[in-house]
Amino acid sequence: MLRIAVPNKGSLSVPASDMLREAGYRQRRDTRELVLADPDNGAEFFFLRPRDVAVYVGSGTVDVGITGRDLMLDSEADAVEHLPLGFAASTFRFAAPAGTITDVEQIAGRRVASSYDTLVRSYLRERGIEPAAVVHLDGAVESSVRLGVADVIADVVETGTTLRAAGLEVFGEPILRSEALLIRRSDVGEPAGLDVLTRRLQGVITAHEYVLMDYDVPIELVDAAVAVTPGFESPTVSPLHNGESAAVRSMVKRSETNRVMDALYEVGARGIIVTSIHASRL
Protein backbone atom coordinates (compact mmCIF):
# COMPACT_ATOMS: atom_id res chain seq x y z
CA MET A 1 0.00 0.00 0.00
CA LEU A 2 1.55 3.34 -1.07
CA ARG A 3 1.36 5.88 1.78
CA ILE A 4 0.69 9.36 0.41
CA ALA A 5 0.75 12.62 2.44
CA VAL A 6 -1.69 15.30 1.29
CA PRO A 7 -1.98 18.89 2.64
CA ASN A 8 -5.00 19.14 4.92
CA LYS A 9 -5.28 22.97 4.84
CA GLY A 10 -4.09 26.05 3.00
CA SER A 11 -3.89 26.83 -0.70
CA LEU A 12 -2.48 23.42 -1.69
CA SER A 13 -5.15 21.33 -0.02
CA VAL A 14 -8.12 21.55 -2.44
CA PRO A 15 -6.14 21.40 -5.73
CA ALA A 16 -4.08 18.46 -4.40
CA SER A 17 -7.18 16.45 -3.49
CA ASP A 18 -8.90 17.42 -6.75
CA MET A 19 -5.94 16.17 -8.73
CA LEU A 20 -5.82 12.85 -6.86
CA ARG A 21 -9.57 12.42 -7.32
CA GLU A 22 -9.16 13.06 -11.05
CA ALA A 23 -6.39 10.45 -11.06
CA GLY A 24 -8.96 7.92 -9.85
CA TYR A 25 -8.24 7.88 -6.12
CA ARG A 26 -10.70 8.16 -3.27
CA GLN A 27 -10.45 11.45 -1.38
CA ARG A 28 -12.00 12.50 1.90
CA ARG A 29 -15.46 14.10 2.03
CA ASP A 30 -15.05 15.55 5.51
CA THR A 31 -12.11 17.92 6.10
CA ARG A 32 -11.68 16.47 9.60
CA GLU A 33 -10.71 13.04 8.28
CA LEU A 34 -7.00 12.44 8.94
CA VAL A 35 -6.47 9.09 7.20
CA LEU A 36 -8.24 7.51 4.25
CA ALA A 37 -7.59 4.04 2.86
CA ASP A 38 -8.13 3.36 -0.84
CA PRO A 39 -7.37 -0.39 -1.05
CA ASP A 40 -8.79 -0.71 -4.59
CA ASN A 41 -6.01 1.58 -5.79
CA GLY A 42 -3.33 0.35 -3.39
CA ALA A 43 -3.07 3.72 -1.63
CA GLU A 44 -3.49 5.19 1.83
CA PHE A 45 -3.79 8.96 2.28
CA PHE A 46 -2.62 10.94 5.31
CA PHE A 47 -3.93 14.49 5.59
CA LEU A 48 -1.19 16.55 7.24
CA ARG A 49 -0.23 20.19 7.68
CA PRO A 50 1.40 21.36 4.42
CA ARG A 51 4.54 22.35 6.30
CA ASP A 52 4.86 18.87 7.82
CA VAL A 53 4.44 16.85 4.60
CA ALA A 54 8.17 16.94 3.70
CA VAL A 55 9.14 16.04 7.28
CA TYR A 56 7.05 12.85 7.18
CA VAL A 57 8.32 11.96 3.71
CA GLY A 58 11.94 12.61 4.76
CA SER A 59 11.59 10.43 7.83
CA GLY A 60 10.21 7.58 5.74
CA THR A 61 6.94 7.27 7.67
CA VAL A 62 5.04 8.01 4.46
CA ASP A 63 6.30 7.13 0.96
CA VAL A 64 5.46 10.28 -0.98
CA GLY A 65 3.68 13.58 -0.44
CA ILE A 66 2.32 16.70 -2.09
CA THR A 67 3.81 20.00 -0.97
CA GLY A 68 5.29 23.24 -2.30
CA ARG A 69 8.93 23.50 -3.37
CA ASP A 70 9.35 26.42 -0.93
CA LEU A 71 7.96 24.37 1.97
CA MET A 72 10.11 21.36 1.10
CA LEU A 73 13.32 23.40 0.94
CA ASP A 74 12.51 25.33 4.12
CA SER A 75 11.94 22.07 6.02
CA GLU A 76 15.44 20.80 5.07
CA ALA A 77 13.87 17.34 5.07
CA ASP A 78 15.53 14.38 3.41
CA ALA A 79 13.18 14.65 0.43
CA VAL A 80 13.51 15.31 -3.30
CA GLU A 81 11.24 16.47 -6.12
CA HIS A 82 9.68 13.55 -7.94
CA LEU A 83 7.11 15.28 -10.18
CA PRO A 84 6.11 18.96 -10.55
CA LEU A 85 2.30 19.12 -10.48
CA GLY A 86 1.70 22.44 -12.24
CA PHE A 87 -0.41 24.25 -9.66
CA ALA A 88 0.25 26.72 -6.79
CA ALA A 89 2.90 28.50 -8.85
CA SER A 90 4.43 31.41 -6.97
CA THR A 91 7.69 33.21 -6.40
CA PHE A 92 9.40 33.69 -3.06
CA ARG A 93 10.75 37.23 -2.82
CA PHE A 94 12.11 39.99 -0.67
CA ALA A 95 10.01 43.13 -0.27
CA ALA A 96 10.24 46.37 1.67
CA PRO A 97 8.37 49.68 1.92
CA ALA A 98 8.41 51.35 -1.50
CA GLY A 99 11.70 53.14 -2.13
CA THR A 100 13.53 52.07 1.05
CA ILE A 101 15.58 49.06 -0.09
CA THR A 102 16.49 48.31 -3.68
CA ASP A 103 19.26 45.72 -3.36
CA VAL A 104 19.67 42.45 -1.46
CA GLU A 105 23.04 43.69 -0.06
CA GLN A 106 21.12 46.36 1.85
CA ILE A 107 19.51 43.67 4.02
CA ALA A 108 22.76 43.60 6.03
CA GLY A 109 22.05 44.88 9.55
CA ARG A 110 18.28 44.89 8.99
CA ARG A 111 15.50 42.68 10.37
CA VAL A 112 13.83 40.21 7.97
CA ALA A 113 10.46 38.61 8.74
CA SER A 114 9.36 35.40 7.04
CA SER A 115 7.46 32.15 7.50
CA TYR A 116 10.34 30.49 5.64
CA ASP A 117 13.18 31.61 7.88
CA THR A 118 15.46 28.62 7.20
CA LEU A 119 15.31 29.34 3.48
CA VAL A 120 15.99 33.03 4.08
CA ARG A 121 18.93 32.39 6.41
CA SER A 122 20.64 30.03 3.99
CA TYR A 123 20.04 32.37 1.02
CA LEU A 124 21.63 35.30 2.87
CA ARG A 125 24.43 33.16 4.30
CA GLU A 126 25.40 31.97 0.80
CA ARG A 127 25.77 35.61 -0.23
CA GLY A 128 27.62 36.69 2.89
CA ILE A 129 24.84 39.08 3.94
CA GLU A 130 24.29 39.33 7.70
CA PRO A 131 20.85 40.54 8.74
CA ALA A 132 20.27 41.95 12.24
CA ALA A 133 17.69 39.18 12.76
CA VAL A 134 15.48 36.76 10.89
CA VAL A 135 12.09 36.86 12.59
CA HIS A 136 9.84 33.82 12.20
CA LEU A 137 6.15 34.58 11.67
CA ASP A 138 3.41 32.07 10.90
CA GLY A 139 1.59 34.20 8.31
CA ALA A 140 0.33 37.65 7.36
CA VAL A 141 4.02 38.52 7.06
CA GLU A 142 3.20 41.61 4.98
CA SER A 143 1.95 43.37 8.13
CA SER A 144 5.21 42.92 10.04
CA VAL A 145 6.96 46.02 8.67
CA ARG A 146 4.07 48.35 9.41
CA LEU A 147 3.77 46.84 12.89
CA GLY A 148 7.46 47.41 13.56
CA VAL A 149 8.87 43.90 14.01
CA ALA A 150 10.87 43.91 10.75
CA ASP A 151 12.35 46.18 8.04
CA VAL A 152 12.14 43.66 5.20
CA ILE A 153 10.00 40.60 4.47
CA ALA A 154 10.56 37.47 2.43
CA ASP A 155 7.25 35.97 1.35
CA VAL A 156 5.23 34.14 -1.25
CA VAL A 157 4.18 36.45 -4.10
CA GLU A 158 1.70 35.43 -6.75
CA THR A 159 -0.18 38.44 -8.12
CA GLY A 160 1.49 40.96 -5.78
CA THR A 161 -1.90 42.17 -4.52
CA THR A 162 -1.12 41.47 -0.86
CA LEU A 163 2.23 43.30 -1.09
CA ARG A 164 0.71 46.34 -2.76
CA ALA A 165 -2.04 46.54 -0.15
CA ALA A 166 0.66 46.64 2.53
CA GLY A 167 2.65 49.38 0.72
CA LEU A 168 5.55 47.01 -0.02
CA GLU A 169 7.60 46.54 -3.19
CA VAL A 170 9.71 43.58 -4.25
CA PHE A 171 13.44 43.98 -4.77
CA GLY A 172 16.24 41.69 -5.94
CA GLU A 173 15.85 38.51 -7.97
CA PRO A 174 13.27 35.95 -6.80
CA ILE A 175 14.77 33.77 -4.06
CA LEU A 176 13.04 30.83 -5.74
CA ARG A 177 10.17 29.86 -7.99
CA SER A 178 7.81 27.45 -6.31
CA GLU A 179 4.97 25.18 -7.37
CA ALA A 180 3.26 22.11 -5.97
CA LEU A 181 5.35 18.94 -6.19
CA LEU A 182 5.06 15.24 -5.59
CA ILE A 183 8.07 14.52 -3.38
CA ARG A 184 9.76 11.33 -2.22
CA ARG A 185 12.57 10.45 0.12
CA SER A 186 16.08 10.96 -1.20
CA ASP A 187 18.63 8.15 -1.40
CA VAL A 188 16.19 5.25 -1.31
CA GLY A 189 14.71 3.29 -4.19
CA GLU A 190 11.29 4.18 -5.53
CA PRO A 191 8.55 2.68 -3.34
CA ALA A 192 6.32 0.04 -4.94
CA GLY A 193 3.32 1.61 -6.61
CA LEU A 194 4.93 5.01 -7.19
CA ASP A 195 5.20 4.29 -10.92
CA VAL A 196 1.43 3.90 -11.19
CA LEU A 197 0.72 7.07 -9.14
CA THR A 198 3.22 8.99 -11.29
CA ARG A 199 1.66 7.86 -14.57
CA ARG A 200 -1.81 8.69 -13.29
CA LEU A 201 -0.77 12.19 -12.19
CA GLN A 202 1.08 12.78 -15.44
CA GLY A 203 -2.12 11.75 -17.21
CA VAL A 204 -4.08 14.39 -15.30
CA ILE A 205 -1.46 17.05 -16.05
CA THR A 206 -1.54 16.19 -19.77
CA ALA A 207 -5.34 16.22 -19.83
CA HIS A 208 -5.29 19.74 -18.36
CA GLU A 209 -2.46 21.00 -20.49
CA TYR A 210 -3.57 19.69 -23.90
CA VAL A 211 -6.69 19.58 -26.06
CA LEU A 212 -7.54 17.37 -29.03
CA MET A 213 -7.82 19.21 -32.31
CA ASP A 214 -9.64 17.73 -35.32
CA TYR A 215 -9.81 19.32 -38.74
CA ASP A 216 -10.27 18.59 -42.42
CA VAL A 217 -7.70 19.69 -44.97
CA PRO A 218 -7.17 19.10 -48.73
CA ILE A 219 -4.73 16.21 -49.20
CA GLU A 220 -2.10 18.40 -50.88
CA LEU A 221 -2.08 20.65 -47.79
CA VAL A 222 -1.76 17.87 -45.17
CA ASP A 223 2.00 18.35 -44.77
CA ALA A 224 1.65 22.09 -44.23
CA ALA A 225 -1.16 21.59 -41.71
CA VAL A 226 0.66 18.84 -39.83
CA ALA A 227 3.67 21.15 -39.50
CA VAL A 228 1.34 23.44 -37.47
CA THR A 229 0.07 20.58 -35.28
CA PRO A 230 2.93 18.07 -34.96
CA GLY A 231 1.38 16.54 -31.79
CA PHE A 232 3.35 14.30 -29.44
CA GLU A 233 4.51 11.65 -31.89
CA SER A 234 2.67 12.06 -35.15
CA PRO A 235 -0.91 13.18 -35.87
CA THR A 236 -3.52 10.70 -37.06
CA VAL A 237 -4.41 11.36 -40.71
CA SER A 238 -7.49 9.57 -42.14
CA PRO A 239 -8.77 9.82 -45.73
CA LEU A 240 -12.19 11.42 -46.22
CA HIS A 241 -14.78 9.71 -48.43
CA ASN A 242 -14.57 12.44 -51.10
CA GLY A 243 -10.99 11.33 -51.87
CA GLU A 244 -9.79 14.94 -51.91
CA SER A 245 -9.39 15.76 -48.23
CA ALA A 246 -8.07 14.20 -45.04
CA ALA A 247 -9.22 14.38 -41.45
CA VAL A 248 -6.38 15.14 -39.02
CA ARG A 249 -6.39 14.65 -35.24
CA SER A 250 -3.62 15.97 -33.04
CA MET A 251 -2.91 17.07 -29.47
CA VAL A 252 -2.33 20.82 -29.03
CA LYS A 253 -1.33 22.85 -25.97
CA ARG A 254 -4.50 24.30 -24.47
CA SER A 255 -2.85 27.71 -24.10
CA GLU A 256 -2.09 27.77 -27.85
CA THR A 257 -5.54 26.65 -29.05
CA ASN A 258 -6.64 29.85 -30.77
CA ARG A 259 -3.26 30.67 -32.26
CA VAL A 260 -3.07 27.16 -33.76
CA MET A 261 -6.66 27.37 -35.10
CA ASP A 262 -5.83 30.68 -36.80
CA ALA A 263 -2.69 29.19 -38.34
CA LEU A 264 -4.56 26.07 -39.54
CA TYR A 265 -7.30 28.18 -41.11
CA GLU A 266 -4.63 30.20 -42.93
CA VAL A 267 -3.13 26.97 -44.29
CA GLY A 268 -6.56 25.92 -45.62
CA ALA A 269 -7.91 23.63 -42.91
CA ARG A 270 -11.66 23.81 -42.21
CA GLY A 271 -14.08 22.17 -39.77
CA ILE A 272 -11.60 22.72 -36.95
CA ILE A 273 -13.00 21.27 -33.72
CA VAL A 274 -11.40 21.34 -30.29
CA THR A 275 -12.23 18.80 -27.57
CA SER A 276 -11.10 18.60 -23.96
CA ILE A 277 -9.24 15.50 -22.87
CA HIS A 278 -11.00 13.71 -20.02
CA ALA A 279 -8.08 11.46 -19.08
CA SER A 280 -4.82 10.32 -20.66
CA ARG A 281 -1.96 7.88 -20.32
CA LEU A 282 0.92 8.65 -22.67
Ligand X SMILES: O=P(O)(O)OC[C@H]1O[C@H](OP(=O)(O)OP(=O)(O)O)[C@H](O)[C@@H]1O
Query: Which of ligand ATP, ligand X, Mg ion, none lies near 193, with the C-beta cut-off 5 to 8 A by kind?
Result: none
CB of residue 175 to ligand X, shortest distance in Å: 14
Please tell me whether residue 174 binds ligand ATP under the rule CB under 6 A.
no
CB of residue 49 to ligand X, shortest distance in Å: 13
Q: Which stretch binds Mg ion (CB under 5 A): 137-145, 203-211, 235-243, 262-270?
A: 137-145
Give 220's DSSP letter: G
CB of residue 155 to ligand ATP, shortest distance in Å: 9
Query: Which of ligand ATP, Mg ion, ligand X, none lies near 144, with the C-beta cut-off 5 to 8 A by kind?
Result: none
Nearer to ligand X, 96 or 207 (CB): 96
Which member of 114, 178, 245, 250 binds ligand ATP (CB under 6 A)? 178
Distance between CA atoms of 198 and 182, rounded to whole angstroms? Answer: 9
- 179 and 86 Cβ atoms separated by less than 8 Å: yes
Q: Which stretch binds ligand X (CB under 6 A): 29-37, 150-158, 179-187, 262-270?
A: 150-158
Burial environment of residue 104 by CB neighbours within 10 A (0 to 12, 13 to 18, 19 or more): middle
Query: Which of ligand ATP, Mg ion, ligand X, none lies near 140, with the C-beta cut-off 5 to 8 A by kind?
Result: ligand X
What are the angstrom distances between the C-alpha of 63 and each of 8, 26, 79?
A: 17, 18, 10
Binders of ligand X among residues 10 to 29 (CB under 6 A) are 11
Residues counted in the chain: 282
3-state SS, residue 188: coil
Please tell me whether residue 66 binds ligand ATP under the rule CB under 6 A.
no
Please tell me whether residue 139 binds ligand ATP under the rule CB under 6 A.
yes
Q: Which stretch binds ligand ATP (CB under 6 A): 4-12, 54-62, 146-154, 239-247?
A: 4-12
Which member of 86, 160, 193, 268 binds ligand X (CB under 6 A)? 160
- The phi, psi pair for 76, rounded to 5°, reads 55, 25
In this structure, are strands 2-7 and 43-48 parallel, antiparallel, or unpaired? parallel
Distance between CA atoms of 89 and 103, rounded to whole angstroms? Answer: 24
DSSP secondary structure, 92-134, as one string: EEEEEETTT--SGGGGTTSEEEES-HHHHHHHHHHTT---SEE
In this structure, are strands 133-136 and 245-253 parallel, antiparallel, or unpaired? unpaired
What is the contact mask toward ligand ATP in residues 36 to 55, using x (rule: CB under 6 A)? --------------x-----
Q: Which residues bind ligand X (CB under 6 A)?
A: 11, 139-142, 155-162
